[in-house]
Amino acid sequence: MKNKTFQSLTNPLAKNNPILVQILGICSALAVTTQLKPALVMGLSVMAVCAFSNLILSLLRNTIPDRIRIIVQLVVIAALVTVVNDVLKAYVYDVSKQLSVYVGLIITNCIIMGRVEAFALSNKPLPSLLDGIGNGLGYGAVLVIIGFVRELFGSGTLFGYQVIPECLYEAGYVNNGLMLFPPSALIIVGIIIWVHRNANKDLQEK
Amino acid sequence: MSKKGFLGGKNSNAYIVFYSTVMVVIVALLLAFTSLSLKDKQEANELNEKKNAIVASLGLEAGTYDQVIDAYVVNAAGEKVAVEGEIIKRLSNLPENYAAGEYIVFENKENGEVVVPLTGKGLWDDIWGYVALAADMNTIKGVIFDHAGETPGLGAEIATPKYQAQFPGLTIYEGADLVGIEVVKGGAKGAAHSVDAVTGGTKTSDGLELMIKDCLKCYDAFFKARQAEANVEVVETVNAE
């Protein structure tokens, strides 16, 4: 039992990663990963929303009328996202400007509703909370990897600090402009999925 | 079916109405509380962003607003008028200020350069910005534009440093006429009053041109008065020599 609870945290990190295996939440993964910082903040925001919506809806699961189940889920998720958006605006204003509409769009992120519907409504609060954190982490981890590659090769910086030395630029090195555009994120996601499936043979379709 | 609980069970209409009402009230209270408790901080952030945009148009570093900027309001005749409250807070309802004939000026105390706030309409929503003029009240020192909802990659390009880099060095007066900045399709290079439009963002570009011209016009008298002052000083120094 203990082991199973723990698995709800670790499973979404690799074997059942929302982006890499379920191919959910791709839209925001393309949009907010030109730099590492917004990618990290977005990952944390989704994790917070996913964890708390799972926890709250799991606590409420026996009281929710079936007919308005989806509406209740949406109200809880939307309320949490609004709180997150307000907090970002108050404490990390510049990042919240970069993330712009994508924070609000967490409401429609399939990962969150998917986890609530598939897991939280039929499981106890603790595993649901862990499942939410796990999925948020799985999503955030992929975002951070993409953000790392895109910022490093697109701008030569990490978290805004110059990491590619000036002498390389003088020697003729140029930043890759493609990295700053959404298609590069899609290509990187594709490469990560490829590596991931290669490492996990059981995920490969026959 | 046989088990009937509170209000006739979980799936009765009465329960559903009750449940949704309670849920909405709780959520409303929660959101109102968060919004109110974070409001001051959010407003401070927005104000700070405006201050930084103003000094950025002058080419100064962020955070220098409070030391170098003197803000005041002028009327259509270019005379300073006394107004209540903090001037920078007026930027949140800039169109009303323009409509009331109260024009805001941010002056660099050190060298007499001024920044004027602009407001206009893009294709989808509001656009706004700041134009910094050198002490001659003619040469553009720098500009900052921003928008509420222009199309990314097209109209939204006006907010990029690359687009705004076209403006410094251009002049807004042709003799005594305020001509503003023309946004043209190709061939702007080398012209004194024109910049290239945004490809695929024609409506936004038109809005930008209109905004610059309409807003700067309101300051015409103020700019001319300052130009005359500057000329007198030049003449005086020449005479003194």
Checking if the pLDDT of A200 tops 90, the result is no
Residue A18's pLDDT is 87
Residue B19's pLDDT is 92
> Contacts of residue A76 in chain B, CB cutoff 8 Å?
27
Average pLDDT, integer, range B117-132: 91
In sequence order, which residues have a C-beta less than 8 Å from that of residue A38 and are 6 or more positions away? A32, A95, A98, A99, A147
| Amino acid at site A170 | E
Q: How many CB pairs under 8 A join A and B?
A: 52
Average pLDDT, integer, range A3-11: 81
CB contact under 8 A, A89 and B42: yes
Which residues of A sit within 8 Å Cβ distance of B? 63-68, 71-72, 75-76, 79, 82-83, 86-87, 89-91, 93, 97
Average pLDDT, integer, range B4-31: 88
Residue B35's pLDDT is 93
State how far the Cα of A122 lies from the Cα of B34, in Å rounded to an integer: 30
- pTM value? 0.77
- pLDDT tens digits, A122-179: 999 999 999 999 999 999 999 999 999 999 998 888 888 888 888 888 888 888 888 8
Closest Cα to residue A49, out of A24, A73, A13, A19?
Answer: A73
Minimum distance, in Å, between the CA of residue A92 and any CA atom of chain B: 9
| Strand bridging mode A161-162 / B69-74 | unpaired
Which contacts (CB < 8 Å, 24+ apart) does range A114-118 have? Answer: A114/A18, A114/A22, A114/A24, A115/A50, A115/A53, A115/A54, A116/A53, A116/A54, A116/A57, A116/A73, A116/A77, A117/A70, A117/A73
State how far the Cα of B123 lies from the Cα of A47, in Å rounded to an integer: 36
Which residues of B sit within 8 Å Cβ distance of A? 10-11, 15-16, 19-20, 23-24, 27, 30-31, 34-35, 38, 41-42, 45-46, 48-49
- pLDDT tens digits, A113-132: 999 999 999 999 999 999 99
Residue B118's pLDDT is 93
Checking if the pLDDT of B238 tops 70, the result is no
State how far the Cα of A95 lies from the Cα of A74, in Å rounded to an integer: 25
CB contact under 8 A, B49 and A89: no
| Amino acid at site A61 | R
- pLDDT tens digits, B37-70: 999 999 999 889 889 989 988 888 888 888 888 8
**Alpha carbon distances (Å) from B189 to B75, B141, B195:** 35, 17, 7
* A189/A108: higher pLDDT: A189
CB contact under 8 A, B34 and A86: yes
In sequence order, which residues have a C-beta less than 8 Å from that of residue B70 and are 6 or more positions away? B106, B107, B108, B109
Quickly state the pLDDT bin for B2 (edges 50, 70, 90). very low
Minimum distance, in Å, between the CA of residue B164 and any CA atom of chain A: 19
CB contact under 8 A, A90 and B16: no
CB contact under 8 A, B38 and A79: no
Residue B184's pLDDT is 86
Checking if the pLDDT of B117 tops 90, the result is yes
Minimum distance, in Å, between the CA of residue B159 and any CA atom of chain A: 13
Q: Cα-flanking dihedrals φ and ψ of residue B72, to 5°?
A: -150, 175
Checking if the pLDDT of B152 tops 80, the result is no
Count other C-beta atoms under 10 Å from residue A41's C-beta. Answer: 21
Strand-pairing partners, residue B63, are none
Closest Cα to residue A78, out of B18, B35, B31, B37?
Answer: B31
Average pLDDT, integer, range B91-102: 88
- pLDDT tens digits, B172-204: 988 888 888 888 887 777 778 888 888 888 889
Quickly state the pLDDT bin for B5 (edges 50, 70, 90). low
Query: Tokens at residue B157, please?
Result: 């390009």
- A108 alpha carbon, distance to own chain's centre: 13
Residue B206's pLDDT is 92
Alpha-carbon Rg for chain A in angstroms: 18
Count other C-beta atoms under 10 Å from residue B214's C-beta. Answer: 14
Residue B23's pLDDT is 94
Closest Cα to residue A85, out of A113, A107, A112?
Answer: A107
Query: Tokens at residue B113, please?
Result: 């350069």
Residue B241's pLDDT is 55
Which of A66, A75, A93 lies nearest to residue B27, judging by beta carbons? A75
Residue A56's pLDDT is 95
Which of A76, A79, A90 lies nearest to residue B45, judging by beta carbons? A90
* Nearest residue on chain B to A81, alpha-carbon basis: B31
CB contact under 8 A, B20 and A71: yes
Average pLDDT, integer, range B139-163: 86
Alpha-carbon Rg for chain B in angstroms: 25
State how far the Cα of A121 lies from the Cα of A105, in Å rounded to an integer: 22
Average pLDDT, integer, range A99-115: 86
CB contact under 8 A, A65 and B19: yes
Quickly state the pLDDT bin for B1 (edges 50, 70, 90). very low
- Best mutation target among A64, A89, A97, A99 (most B Cβ atoms within 10 Å) is A89
- Best mutation target among B15, B26, B27 (most A Cβ atoms within 10 Å) is B27
Q: Identify whether the C-beta of residue B106 lies closer than 8 Å to the C-beta of residue B71.
A: yes
Checking if the pLDDT of B209 tops 60, the result is yes
Percent share of chain A, pLDDT over 90: 48
CB contact under 8 A, A79 and B27: yes
Which of A67, A72, A90 lies nearest to residue B11, judging by beta carbons? A67
Strand-pairing partners, residue B80, are B74
Q: Identify whether the C-beta of residue A41 lies closer than 8 Å to the C-beta of residue A95.
A: yes
Minimum distance, in Å, between the CA of residue B235 and any CA atom of chain A: 48
CB contact under 8 A, A65 and B11: yes
